[in-house]
Structure 1
Amino acid sequence: MTGATALDAEGLAHLRLIRSPRIGPVSFRQLVERFGSATAAIEALPMLAARGGGKPALADPHRIVTEIDAVVRAGARYVMLGREGYPALLAMTESAPPVLIVRGDLALLDRTAIAIVGARNASAAACRFARMLAHALGEAGVSVVSGLARGIDTAAHQGSIERGTVGVIASGIDIAFPPENAALQERVASEGLLLAEQPPGTEPLARFFPSRNRIIAGATLGTVVVEAAPRSGSLITARLAGEAGREVMAVPGSPVDPRAQGCNLLIREGATLVQSADDILEAVRPIDPRALRSPAVPFGSAPPGDADAGERAALHRLLGPVPVAVDELIRQSGATPAAVQLVLLELELAGRLERHAGGRVSLAD
């Protein structure tokens, strides 16, 4: 099975839409909810971009076929938002990746899943504790999710590999990073589950790691941080978990060790203090993963109405180079949320709008 034969027509449109410039997870979801399918959304792009004052940019169909061939050669497969097999917990998040490329057993994410993350330059004691914690969770039937980085991530995978581990990487499914974890990554793919959002051949650039972190946080019931500096990527994962309504947990450390300051800060701010696997299980056991199912209807019905000329003019006046919350635009413009989202989507497709963290937007430079 190669090229276009690996996906049906709607699957091809789904992949082409998310691989197109100016379309991210949020705008993808808005397009498919408004028009009912990726195929219909692609047909509507010229009209929407023209309203926003620009021209649409669509991914080259030949590049899509080339990507599919690479996925097949890597022994991987696609899982798409709104379709069977997509992780139910991850699908509930606002920025869920429209497409995942996977190797391994997706059923591991049907079980209770916990993320264990932490410092790359972790101490030997912290790595040992993370490995023991992951092993104990695995023995309790919990899938352990981490990012295959050096340090705590590596220890978490090593401790859970025999009972169920899930690796989420910032590169393509065929790229091992760091290189010394190539054997571990292959073992995760063959004995557990390996997930990638980026196309095959993509190197793990710095800008892809926050995207990877949101998958780790979104696919699990809770995130445990084991050693982390105050500005580390692990704290980003913890913040994303909290924003998604998931449990945030941390292992306390010595106040004189800079690597423990992030964990101690999380605990001070309300994170659950973790000293054993039982602490984690007690925090998340009230949430039964069997109650979580992918929605029967993949996307909601199309938002009603449209934006009139007055609403468009008001929103254009309110937007500027400084990021502003979408809720504030709704309040000040007096337009309906659906109308505001439509105008913002049009500007984004035209290349005139940028989206920022925290539901904020600004005019593009």
Structure 2
Amino acid sequence: MADDGRVARLRLIRTPTIGPVTWCALIARFGSAQAAIDALPDLAARGGGRAPRIADRGAIEREIATTERLGARYLFIDDPDYPPLLAELDNAPVAVTLRGDLALAGRTVVAMVGARNASAAACRFARGLAADLGHEGIVVASGLARGLDTAAHQGSLATGTIGVIASGIDIAFPPENRELQERVADEGLLIAEQPPGSEPLARNFPHRNRVIAGLAVGTVVVEAAPRSGSLITARLAGEAGRDVMAVPGSPLDPRTQGCNQLIRDGATLVQSAADVIEAIRPIDTRMVRSPVSRFDPGRFDPGRFDSGGSAEPEESDRRAIIGLLGPAPVAIDELIRQSDLAPAIVAMALLELELAGRLDRHAGGRVSLG
């Protein structure tokens, strides 16, 4: 990719109000990042707001220089070696920075997550499970957090591990895992969605979790309390159609209540690597070993629903859609049904509203008023 093209793509994704879904829709609609940038003022005005402040070119050029100085590189969603399972997510990250062996993401990957304040027994189990899975040719992905994540990486360093972090590629969190993070980058694969220098803010961890779940054919939760980040990862895995597995624990230990709840709700009970392998093999055969789909920008194009007419919404269309929106997230399909408008019209109107800062997107293809 030419430098100008890379700069324009990063300027677009680093612009406020533009997330992965919007970025892909703009590229599909206008053909290039620069053409999309040029169109932003008009689109935002049609949505009833001001154009978003586009990321500064100089700042992006400095970011690129820092990334290269750190020995990292960018991977864009339409690059041929972008992990195919991750690309299947509607909100897959448009651009990540990485260090290490990207080929690991093309193998069979299982995510392993759990409590930061994990018990010693759970950490020992996770370390052994990761090692056993590695000896079966399975790569283990986790988030380089304290507790279970650390144990999962330690058990799989020798056979293949992927660390996904919520900070920039140069920031280690927790600090005591700096050496482990360097080992993951040197011996495995380290992935960051945030730009270099970014601190691990709380709002970035759910984004990190979706990448962990998206890379894997299934997610194993070893120990987790109710309403923990590990359960968010499990939920995202289920929403992506991947297998959800959990290790049972004592009902007297609050750190295992989340796992027991997952099993009660239908997650696969895991006691050994054999249980994991049995659970993922049908998914592995269908999603990994068969021909895989690559990123298709056409699936994000609002005009893909159009059957010959115009996909440009009228002001009355926008008013009708805004009238159906509220603070509670609603499925886009429901907006199409209730508005009785063409899907292309609804999709384009939502894109305009988002660029104007008047719309928020949520998991599962849902939207709400911003």
Structure-1-length-normalised TM-score: 0.95
- Give the match for residue 173 of structure 1: 169
Which has the larger displacement, 9-18 or 293-302?
Answer: 293-302
- Give the paired residue count: 359
Shift, 1:15, TM fit = 1.1
Query: Does the CA contact (< 8 Å) of 1:174 and 1:201 recur in 2?
Result: yes
- Aligned to 2:368, the other structure's residue is in SS state strand
Per-residue CA distance 1:99-123 (angstroms, 9 max, x = gap): 0100000000111000000000111
| Cα distance in 2 between the residues matched to 1:153 and 1:292 | 31
Shift, 1:353, TM fit = 1.6
Per-residue CA distance 1:299-355 (angstroms, 9 max, x = gap): 446533222333222112222344333222111111122211111110111112222
Structure 1 residues 84-233: aligned runs within 5 Å = 84-233=80-229
- Give the match for residue 13 of structure 2: 18
Query: Does the CA contact (< 8 Å) of 2:88 and 2:295 recur in 1?
Result: no
Per-residue CA distance 1:187-236 (angstroms, 9 max, x = gap): 00000000000000000010000000000000100000001001110000
Shift, 1:292, TM fit = 4.8
Instruction: Give the residue type in structure 2 aligned to 1:134.
Output: A
Query: Does the CA contact (< 8 Å) of 2:77 and 2:295 recur in 1?
Result: no
| Cα distance in 2 between the residues matched to 1:205 and 1:187 | 23
| Cα distance in 2 between the residues matched to 1:321 and 1:264 | 33
- Aligned to 1:317, the other structure's residue is in SS state helix
Shift, 1:255, TM fit = 1.0
- Give the match for residue 348 of structure 1: 354
Matched, 1:263 2:263: no
The match for 2:368 among 345, 362, 365 is 362
Q: Percent identity?
A: 65
Which has the larger displacement, 139-148 or 41-50?
Answer: 41-50
The match for 2:40 among 7, 20, 45 is 45
- Aligned to 2:199, the other structure's residue is in SS state coil
Query: Does the CA contact (< 8 Å) of 1:86 and 1:294 recur in 2?
Result: no
Change (3 A) 1:320 1:67: same
- Give the match for residue 3 of structure 1: none
| Cα distance in 2 between the residues matched to 1:144 and 1:25 | 25
Computed over aligned residues only, the root mean square deviation of the Cα atoms, in angstroms, reads 1.5
| Cα distance in 2 between the residues matched to 1:223 and 1:7 | 37
| Cα distance in 2 between the residues matched to 1:353 and 1:298 | 22
Shift, 1:84, TM fit = 1.9
Per-residue CA distance 1:56-115 (angstroms, 9 max, x = gap): 221111111011011011110000001122111000011100001000000001110000
Gaps of 5+ in 2: none
Shift, 1:242, TM fit = 0.2
- Aligned to 1:95, the other structure's residue is in SS state coil
Shift, 1:7, TM fit = 5.0
- Aligned to 2:97, the other structure's residue is in SS state strand
- Aligned to 2:162, the other structure's residue is in SS state strand
- Aligned to 2:221, the other structure's residue is in SS state strand
Shift, 1:36, TM fit = 2.6
| Cα distance in 1 between the residues matched to 2:122 and 2:366 | 37
Query: Does the CA contact (< 8 Å) of 2:130 and 2:153 recur in 1?
Result: yes
| Cα distance in 2 between the residues matched to 1:296 and 1:264 | 36
Shift, 1:185, TM fit = 0.1
Gaps of 5+ in 1: 1-5
Matched, 1:339 2:345: yes
Query: Does the CA contact (< 8 Å) of 2:25 and 2:297 recur in 1?
Result: no
| Cα distance in 1 between the residues matched to 2:232 and 2:296 | 31
- Aligned to 1:295, the other structure's residue is in SS state coil
Query: Does the CA contact (< 8 Å) of 2:87 and 2:295 recur in 1?
Result: no
- Aligned to 1:285, the other structure's residue is in SS state helix
The match for 2:51 among 56, 61, 65 is 56
